[in-house]
Structure 1
């Protein structure tokens, strides 16, 4: 029996800050927005963190397919902004969404691809019949130092996927990973903000790993870009996924439904997964989706996904990505700094 996606859910905070408001404080103006192709980003509320975002996304996934949470045998939460250095996020999520304590959990961290790594772990447990359902989550309240280029893109959001064998909304046909030790982005213990290697994060990191994972999967499955109706690539900004899609032979039309970064910013571990959710929100049975994540450090996971008939039954039972994007309240830089805890005493 094949494994795949039983349900999915997302959560994006309603607060936003526009890129030109950040530029008003630090300079750069329209040049930065047009260069990054990110025009606004999501901001967590004062009482929101990676845990609360993960819980909301998980609840939406359960509600969308009316799944009994007692069926969940594993919960893996991927994030690079877990609120505790020593204390699992997964136990809090499990307590909030499950009615049983009979599940295993662990926190994942691999920059922006920890969420797709969680999906792979769930696929292994489900595929070996060790559990009925696995809950894989990517959730982040990502950080950028004041005035740094990351501040224009580092956003907040989460996506949760229930992985199983029964009542599938989409089949995961195969996956392929490509990983190397490429130190393009890092944050040491105790540092409040990450550091990055500027343009180095592009060519030897993002583009090398995304193209290698994507071509590896297509070679393994003997598929081509034209075999897919949609494609989703990790979205650190608005230009990288467009460029890598072109490099691989995918069209702009294929990536447009999942390209949400210009409106909500880079949600890190949730970025690729929210793009996939936005695509599932409109995809029809029989259509195929090609997905490739990226995490600095560095690695990529590529997936081939086929949408099944059940998507029509569950699609409208929880908020869509576009529902969250449309529910926006804008902050000025002072309130944004307060929300993000940038004011330190």
Structure 2
């Protein structure tokens, strides 16, 4: 059975409170922040980007469980914010963890579900026998124009998963996807910030696709929400995942461990990977996890995962920081420092 061999997450330590962003943009900003249910978000340091986040997440994964770098045959990095338009993030990650030459490496882009698309690709390559291990990473330094609703949530962070079929800590029982051409969110080449369809991003975009993939999974597996111990849904804000989980019949307790967005913000391609990592941090053998990502444009990937007893015998979860550790390790900045870190303001030449 193909599954997760080990995992790791990384979140920059700097934070900005949404009330500080609202202070700069006025009364309407405070209303936006309150409605989204996000109290603060992670901000990259001046020398951090999607590449450094991906490298740190991959290194943490390998610290939890030793994997021979020579046996890593694929690396895929999903992101909306690759540092180069032409130069793969995945190749540099491979070099940084000693896994080069890699048989196949590529950067993925499908808005916020590019990381889970990488997991699916690694699953296929492992199942076919082409590779022994593959690494799938979802990471972003999310963009949001000054004063736009996105600025209150667009955050930095990500997670990495080593996929294989030799003693996985969590078996991936099945995966399926639901995709249509629904343009709710986009950024043209060369533009610094994305644009979005406002309420259109909820329905028919987010809710239609997550429910489409989730219902397809439940029907295929012959399961119901109560059969799962935990559930992780894409979290662009705190409201959407809570609403869609209730629509599908999942409880607030099932999604609570993986709902990092109120203290993290929306890490785009890293959102579901970080949520799944937080869930694996506390999961026990036999626990079943339901996962559904979402990427604008639009599509959702669903996963049915069962935690194995190997999570207690073959990895050392304490060898790398948990998501809770990373969320608690923080330093607050004001809007001016945040804007400098995000490149919204730069020193004149």
Instruction: Work out whether the TM-score is over 0.5.
Output: yes
Q: Which residue of 2 aligns with 1:22?
A: 21
Q: Does 1:266 align with 2:266?
A: yes
Q: Which residue of 2 aligns with 1:83?
A: 83
RMSD: 0.9
Q: Return the offset for 1:226.
A: 0.6
Query: Counterparts of 1:333-344 in structure 2 under 5 Å?
Result: 333-344=335-346
Q: Return the offset for 1:65.
A: 1.0
Q: Return the offset for 1:311.
A: 1.0
Q: Which residue of 1 aligns with 2:329?
A: 327
Q: Does 1:186 align with 2:186?
A: yes
Q: Return the offset for 1:70.
A: 1.5
Q: Return the offset for 1:103.
A: 2.6
SS at match of 2:247: helix
SS at match of 1:257: coil
Q: Return the offset for 1:29.
A: 5.4
Aligned partners of 1:306, 1:236: CA distance in 2, in Å?
Answer: 25
Aligned partners of 2:132, 2:110: CA distance in 1, in Å?
Answer: 26
Q: Which residue of 2 aligns with 1:206?
A: 206
CA deviations over 1:204-244 (Å, ceiling 9, x no partner): 00000000000001101111001000000000000000000
Q: Does 1:34 align with 2:5?
A: no
Q: Does 1:310 align with 2:310?
A: yes
Preserved contact between residue 231 and residue 250 of structure 1 (Cα < 8 Å): yes
Q: Which residue of 1 aligns with 2:106?
A: 106
Q: Which runs of 4+ in 1 moved over 6 A?
A: none
Give the gaps of 5 or more residues in structure 1: none
Q: Which deviates more, 228-237 or 30-39?
A: 30-39
SS at match of 1:41: strand
Query: Counterparts of 1:1-345 in structure 2 under 5 Å?
Result: 2-27=1-26, 28=28, 30-313=30-313, 314=315, 315-344=317-346
SS at match of 1:54: helix
Aligned partners of 1:229, 1:298: CA distance in 2, in Å?
Answer: 28
Preserved contact between residue 12 and residue 157 of structure 1 (Cα < 8 Å): yes
Preserved contact between residue 184 and residue 197 of structure 1 (Cα < 8 Å): yes
Aligned partners of 2:70, 2:103: CA distance in 1, in Å?
Answer: 9
CA deviations over 1:116-170 (Å, ceiling 9, x no partner): 0000000000011100000000010010000000000000001000000012100
SS at match of 1:232: strand
Preserved contact between residue 62 and residue 68 of structure 1 (Cα < 8 Å): no
CA deviations over 1:239-276 (Å, ceiling 9, x no partner): 00000000000000100000000001000001011000
TM-score, normalised relative to structure 1: 0.98
Aligned partners of 2:273, 2:86: CA distance in 1, in Å?
Answer: 26
SS at match of 1:81: coil
Q: Which deviates more, 236-245 or 26-35?
A: 26-35
Going from structure 1 to structure 2, the CA distance change for 1:164 and 1:210 (only over 3 Å counts) comes to same
Give the gaps of 5 or more residues in structure 2: none
Q: Which deviates more, 292-301 or 306-315?
A: 306-315
Going from structure 1 to structure 2, the CA distance change for 1:331 and 1:226 (only over 3 Å counts) comes to same
Report the count of equivalent residues: 344
Preserved contact between residue 217 and residue 302 of structure 2 (Cα < 8 Å): yes
CA deviations over 1:159-192 (Å, ceiling 9, x no partner): 0000000121000000110000000000001111
Preserved contact between residue 50 and residue 83 of structure 1 (Cα < 8 Å): yes
SS at match of 1:291: strand
TM-score, normalised relative to structure 2: 0.97
Preserved contact between residue 44 and residue 156 of structure 2 (Cα < 8 Å): yes
Preserved contact between residue 174 and residue 305 of structure 2 (Cα < 8 Å): yes
Going from structure 1 to structure 2, the CA distance change for 1:99 and 1:272 (only over 3 Å counts) comes to closer
